[in-house]
């Protein structure tokens, strides 16, 4: 009876599974172990499991065993860094579920470890035990033949009806039939006792303790079978040539922190990096890439010998540093200047440490990509971009995998993504990954090769020996794509060189991920600290630089503090998708960074004040505008509000007599209203806004009750709890209409406020409505004491504005998104990222929603929505628990968002005018750095990293163009354009600023 091909493949698969049971010719246990100095028997449970522990033992290879075929097999019960010391020296390796077999360093050697009772994804080992510890004499021919048969079976199944399958199966059957295989009962049963079928037997007979292995003749038959099968495959390859090309890069995605704390990441990196260096010795063609300057900086501290070994591997070309950034950051929430510093400090570190500057931005795992990135990458020396996360979108398939990505300003970078169904960027070298990755590549008509990153990741681990053995074997296979080890930068360089740019499609604007939308809100306390630390750093640098322009010393670089902020922008820290321990670390680090930045800001303000003209004012009010637009003065002095009607020019320093400052007239407050000369706000009995009337143009801004607070107990995603917001979250929404108290808190003359208190179940929501005497924005300071799980809190305000698009601030610009659901692409954007504002405008009028700490927005129809807090239970059961504070605001305005000064008001909410009291100064206005031309925004004004002067960076925020010039105070000069790396650059001719352009200059003393 003839079998079908499928049945024959299954039969060959089952038969091949016997081979691994004969892989070990002989073995001996390693039995004398200590656990932190205590005796521990092989097979015993650990005495303790919380902490980092050290195992130790001695091993001796039996006489007659060849060292090259001897392996140490270990499973200590958790992830480990294992160090072997023998006559051949000392070697360290990572021990994890994927790396449990090691070459021995001599006939006698010591084993030591640094071990935690955890698995790669942070899972605790509930009952850790010393499970495996033995020396094994390996049969290399059996190992190689088994792997070759496995790959043949896997390939045959994947090729389906391809005519080569019958030939593959026949070749495998012939090879297997050629074996001279043992059958002696005692040895055979003992060898197969652990076989899957053997485990199902009611009771096995007594098994021989040391079953015999293969005889020399049997071993020779395995070698002959392997060689014959390899030859048959090569012959088939001539008849059925390999189809396609896959460039393979070794990889170990190591999340800087995720389901484990940062301290464990430091250990993961050492384990992984030692393992990869060991593979490089065994496989000279192995090429491995690792991003993230922060990893190398920590290895430099933690393991200097390892660091030097990595540097040598970089010189040899086997280890590719990549990415050009300090970490792999989230790209939805950091401000544009944070991206600049990721690139500046990342590229500078790589160049200083390894002598390389990167061309490829490597971000495989971020949750959407800001349209600001292409321009910044180009200005930071990177012309290429890699991710695979676009393949995670659930609604619409991203249309390209080899394309140019065009940013806000028109800058383009070459982008590539591969679609590997076998673990994505944590790929493996096996037919099930290679064939579909090539099959899914859509630009075969333009380019003949796609990329594949191979190696266990997220929790580290990296490439394995089996992956590299598979790669070598697959070179002989027919039909499957040809594989080659590659440096990622070389892969992209080949595309740049060989593929005409005009033949590739272009994706313009943001790359929105239709998944993981809740990362814009989860762990909101960390997000607020990050926002404030960013802003405080930028402001401190600005004020210190203004002081230098007036004659003070140039301040020192704040790079050490920036590094802390940049680290906490990592794509599983800032998005809120990590465990509680991460946020304990992050909030402590960001609090310290914020304090350092504020201290630097105070020092800069003191230095600036010391350079001001002396005079007779006993109580002088020093006001500093740290941005590029004129604005009114709203500040707090010793906790008390202060307003001044005088306009403060861009980067201006104004000195006034405090006694002469008068509040603007027109501010009033009652239990049901707030009013100044710009707006009148009426408050309903339920605490919502009954009216927000713009007195300047005589128009009501609301189309219903404003600042409605809704809770959504349906915030229960089907999979990724901290990550996802499902599109049906609104079902079962509850509006909070009950009010516990409404009271007037401030009555003016500078600011009026009303406090409204509410409860929801176990949580308290206190909102303070604030109206400054000289501003049209209504601020809503919110203090939460939150104690409810898996409930989303949002504010929603219907406005009397109609437009088919809304405008959202992003890094260094804005994004326009539809307010309707005409297409599936529009419908998928029910929760979207924005920085300091979202705006809905029609010709002549609009309303903006501003914030100082939030990112998750929605504008559908005429409703402005903002997510305020959510409380997932995985991976942190207490995420968002307890007290937190933030402010958002409603701003009616004339014209569109540009004409209405929305960005300027949003900045003022996030960074008020700086105010300081001093004595012995003269009244007057100082302009350390004047600007003229098209309205622009300040990205940064900072000390140059090389100590030579200052760097001023501005950006055009709205899509306009025109002349623009800097005019520093006497004694300083504009020395020329620089790029993000602060190196001279020739800028193409054109207006001073182009739409959304980021431009930097060096300022030096004249």
Tokens at 488, concatenated: 């990622």
DSSP letter at 120 equals T
Q: From CA 519, how far away is CA 722, in angstroms rounded?
A: 7
Q: ω before 5 within 30° of 0 (cis)?
A: no
C-beta separation of 376 from 580 below 8 A:
no
Q: What is the CA radius of gyration of the chain?
A: 33
Task: Name which of 57, 103, 104 is nearest 76 in CA terms.
Answer: 57
| Strand, helix or coil for residue 331 | coil
C-beta separation of 926 from 543 below 8 A:
no
Q: From CA 271, how far away is CA 194, in angstroms rounded?
A: 30
Q: From CA 883, how far away is CA 890, in angstroms rounded?
A: 23
The pairs formed by 981-985 with CB atoms below 8 angstroms and a separation of 24 or more are: 981/343, 981/344, 981/347, 981/348, 981/380, 981/381, 982/344, 982/944, 982/945, 982/946, 982/951, 985/379
Q: From CA 586, how far away is CA 659, in angstroms rounded?
A: 43
Phi, psi for 653 (deg, rounded to 5):
-125, 115
390 contacts: CB under 8 Å, gap ≥ 6: 398, 417, 511, 513
C-beta separation of 748 from 669 below 8 A:
yes
Tokens at 866, concatenated: 């903002």
Task: Name which of 337, 398, 409, 333 is nearest 371 in CA terms.
Answer: 409
Task: Name which of 475, 478, 457, 454 is nearest 465 in CA terms.
Answer: 454
C-beta separation of 391 from 419 below 8 A:
yes
983 contacts: CB under 8 Å, gap ≥ 6: none
815 contacts: CB under 8 Å, gap ≥ 6: 371, 509, 510, 807, 808, 834
Q: From CA 221, how far away is CA 202, in angstroms rounded?
A: 34
Q: From CA 192, how far away is CA 796, in angstroms rounded?
A: 67
Residue with tokens 């622009």: 936
Task: Name which of 288, 270, 266 is nearest 463 in CA terms.
Answer: 288
DSSP letter at 364 equals T
755 contacts: CB under 8 Å, gap ≥ 6: 741, 742, 743, 744, 745, 766, 767, 768, 769
Tokens at 431, concatenated: 């037919």
Q: From CA 506, how far away is CA 527, in angstroms rounded?
A: 33
C-beta separation of 78 from 116 below 8 A:
yes
In DSSP terms, 124 is beta-bridged to 118
Tokens at 523, concatenated: 């762990």
| Strand, helix or coil for residue 600 | helix
Phi, psi for 977 (deg, rounded to 5):
-70, 145
Phi, psi for 925 (deg, rounded to 5):
-115, 135
Length of the chain: 1006
- Please indicate whether residue 365 is annotated as part of the active site: yes
Among candidate residues 96, 303, 365, 585, the one labeled active-site is: 365
Task: Name which of 586, 579, 570, 581 is nearest 525 in CA terms.
Answer: 586
Tokens at 873, concatenated: 């239970």
The CA distances from residue 296 to 228, 229, 352, 571, 847, in Å, are 46, 44, 12, 18, 47
Which residues are identified as catalytic? 365
């Amino acid at each position: 009876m003839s079998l079908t091909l499928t049945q024959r493949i299954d039969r060959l698969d089952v038969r091949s599974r016997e081979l691994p049971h004969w892989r070990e010719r002989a073995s001996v246990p390693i039995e004398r172990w200590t656990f932190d100095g205590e005796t521990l028997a092989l097979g015993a449970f650990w005495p303790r499991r919380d902490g980092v522990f050290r195992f130790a033992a001695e091993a001796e290879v039996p006489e007659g065993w060849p060292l090259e075929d001897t392996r140490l097999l270990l499973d200590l019960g958790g992830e480990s860094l294992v160090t072997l010391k023998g006559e051949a020296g000392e070697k360290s390796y990572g021990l994890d579920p994927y790396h449990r077999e090691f070459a021995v360093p001599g006939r006698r050697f010591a084993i030591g470890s640094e071990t935690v009772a955890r698995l790669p994804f942070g899972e605790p080992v509930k009952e850790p035990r010393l499970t495996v510890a033995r020396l094994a004499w390996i049969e290399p021919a059996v190992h190689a033949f088994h792997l070759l048969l496995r790959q043949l079976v896997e390939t045959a199944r994947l090729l389906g009806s391809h005519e080569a399958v019958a030939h593959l199966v026949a070749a495998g059957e012939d090879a297997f039939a050629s074996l001279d295989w043992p059958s002696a009962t005692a040895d055979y049963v003992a060898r197969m006792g652990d076989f899957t079928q053997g485990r199902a037997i009611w009771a096995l007979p007594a098994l021989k303790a040391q079953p015999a292995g293969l005889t020399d003749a049997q071993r020779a038959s395995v070698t002959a079978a392997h060689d014959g099968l390899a030859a048959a495959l090569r012959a088939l390859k001539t008849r059925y040539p390999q189809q396609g090309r896959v460039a393979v890069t070794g990889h170990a995605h190591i999340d800087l922190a995720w389901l484990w704390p940062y301290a464990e990441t430091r250990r993961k990196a050492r384990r992984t990096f030692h393992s990869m260096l060991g593979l490089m010795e065994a496989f000279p063609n192995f090429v491995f890439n690792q991003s993230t300057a922060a990893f190398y900086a920590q290895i430099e501290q933690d393991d200097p010998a390892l660091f030097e070994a990595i540097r040598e591997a970089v010189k040899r070309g086997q280890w590719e540093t990549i990415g050009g950034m300090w970490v792999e950051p989230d790209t939805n929430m950091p401000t544009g200047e944070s991206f600049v510093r990721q690139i500046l400090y990342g590229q500078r570190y790589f160049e200083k440490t390894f002598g390389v500057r990167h061309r490829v931005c490597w971000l495989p795992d971020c949750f959407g990509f800001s349209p600001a990135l292409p321009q910044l990458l180009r200005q930071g020396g990177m012309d290429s971009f890699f991710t695979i996360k676009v393949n995670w979108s659930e609604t619409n398939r991203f249309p390209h995998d080899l394309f140019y990505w065009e940013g806000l300003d028109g800058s383009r970078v070459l982008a590539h993504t591969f679609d590997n169904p076998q673990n994505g960027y944590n790929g493996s070298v096996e037919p099930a990954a290679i064939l579909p990755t090539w099959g899914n590549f859509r630009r075969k008509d333009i380019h003949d090769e796609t990329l594949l990153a191979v190696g266990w990741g997220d929790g580290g681990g990296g490439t394995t020996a089996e992956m590299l053995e598979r790669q070598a074997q697959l070179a002989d296979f027919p039909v499957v794509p040809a594989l080659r080890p590659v440096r990622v930068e070389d892969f992209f360089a080949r595309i740049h060189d060989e593929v005409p740019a005009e033949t590739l499609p272009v994706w313009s604007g943001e790359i929105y991920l239709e998944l993981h939308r809740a990362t814009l809100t989860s762990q909101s306390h960390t997000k607020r600290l990050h926002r404030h630390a960013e802003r405080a750093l930028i402001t401190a640098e600005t004020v210190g630089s203004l002081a230098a322009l007036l004659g003070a010393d140039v301040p020192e670089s704040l790079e050490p503090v920036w590094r802390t902020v940049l680290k906490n922008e990592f794509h599983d820290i800032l998005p809120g998708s990590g465990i509680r321990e991460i946020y304990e670390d992050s909030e402590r680090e960001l609090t310290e960074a914020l304090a350092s930045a504020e201290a630097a800001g105070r020092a800069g303000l003191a230095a600036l004040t010391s350079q001001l003209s002396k005079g007779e004012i006993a109580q002088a009010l020093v006001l500093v505008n740290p941005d590029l637009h004129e604005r009114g003065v709203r500040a707090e002095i010793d906790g008390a509000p202060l307003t001044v009607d005088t306009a403060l020019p861009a980067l201006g320093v104004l000195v006034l007599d405090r006694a002469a400052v008068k509040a603007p007239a027109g501010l009033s407050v009652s239990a049901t209203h707030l009013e100044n000369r710009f707006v009148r706000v009426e408050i309903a009995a339920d605490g919502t806004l009954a009216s927000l009337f713009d007195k300047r143009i005589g128009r009501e801004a609301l189309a219903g009750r404003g600042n409605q607070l809704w809770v959504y107990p349906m915030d229960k995603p089907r999979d990724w709890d901290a990550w996802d917001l499902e599109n049906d979250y609104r079902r079962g929404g509850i509006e909070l209409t009950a009010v516990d108290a409404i009271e007037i808190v401030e009555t003016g003359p500078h600011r009026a406020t009303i406090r409204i208190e509410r409860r929801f179940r176990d949580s308290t929501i206190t909102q303070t409505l604030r109206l400054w005497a000289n501003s049209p924005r209504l601020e809503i300071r919110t203090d939460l004491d939150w104690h409810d799980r898996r409930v989303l809190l949002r504010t929603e305000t219907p406005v009397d504005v109609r437009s088919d698009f809304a405008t959202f601030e992003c890094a260094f610009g804005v994004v326009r998104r539809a307010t309707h659901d005409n297409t599936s692409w529009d419908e998928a954007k029910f929760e979207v990222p924005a920085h300091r504002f979202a705006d809905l405008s029609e010709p002549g009028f609009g309303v903006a929603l501003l914030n100082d700490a939030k990112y998750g927005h929605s504008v559908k129809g005429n409703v402005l929505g903002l997510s305020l807090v959510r409380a997932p239970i995985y991976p942190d059961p207490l995420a968002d628990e307890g007290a937190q504070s933030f402010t958002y605001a409603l701003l009616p305005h004339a014209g569109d968002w540009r004409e209405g000064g929305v960005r300027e008001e949003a900045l003022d909410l996030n960074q008020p005018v700086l105010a300081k009291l001093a004595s012995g100064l003269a009244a007057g206005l100082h302009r350390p750095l004047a600007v003229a031309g098209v309205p622009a925004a300040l990205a940064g004004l900072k000390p140059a990293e090389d100590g030579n002067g200052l760097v001023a960076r501005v950006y055009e925020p709205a899509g306009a163009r025109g002349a623009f010039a800097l005019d520093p105070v006497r004694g300083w000069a504009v020395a020329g354009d620089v790029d993000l790396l602060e190196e001279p650059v020739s800028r193409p001719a054109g207006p001073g600023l182009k739409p959304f352009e980021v431009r930097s200059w060096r300022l030096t003393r004249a």
